[in-house]
Amino acid sequence: MSHPETVVHLEHDGKVLLVDQSGNGPIIPVKGRIEVEEMYRFPTVEEVEILGVSWEHKRETHIEFDDFQYVVIKGYPKLSWPKNWSWKDDLISDNSVHPIAREAIYRSIHRLVSKVVVRNSNNEILLAKVSRGHFAGHWTLPG
């Protein structure tokens, strides 16, 4: 399973661009898939160009995997809405997605949240049902 040394992590409102080993995409991961069919990954700079996506370079992350250092360029795509791209929450739970992409996504997930308790005059607490991510379908305090 070979992986390019440098790839581009394009993310827009929780959606990311994945490609197959040949650079074809976008690919949609399967949340919770255990069996590895084909390995999916972030595209290279050249593959992003071939796919016709304009983007802005934000920063670089270096990830060590199998005693080799990979460069993941974080970029912001210049497009309105990538509706056919993957939800990043689904990507990290699919074993067919290369560990480099999963690690880069995991590192990009915001963990600092503020929780508030909103009570009405009957002393009832406002809760929200999570619609996506690992806790989809569960009730929680508003963030």
Q: Give the bridge partners for 27, in sequence order.
A: none
Angle at 8 between CA 103 and CA 4, to 5 degrees: 80
Give 90-132 pLDDT, tens digit per residue.
888 899 999 999 999 988 876 656 667 888 899 888 887 877 6
Counts for the chain of helices (H) and strands (E), in that order: 3, 7
Q: What is the DSSP string of 31-67?
A: TT--S-SS-BBPPPHHHHHHTT--EEEEEEEEEEETT
Give 64-83 pLDDT, tens digit per residue.
988 999 999 999 999 988 99
Does residue 135 register a pLDDT over 80? no
pLDDT value at residue 117: 80
Length of the chain: 143
Count other C-beta atoms under 10 Å from residue 105's C-beta: 21
pLDDT value at residue 119: 85
Give 12-26 pLDDT, tens digit per residue.
988 999 999 999 999
Domains detected in the chain: 6-108 (3.90.79.10), 113-143 (no CATH)
The pTM assigned to this predicted structure is 0.76
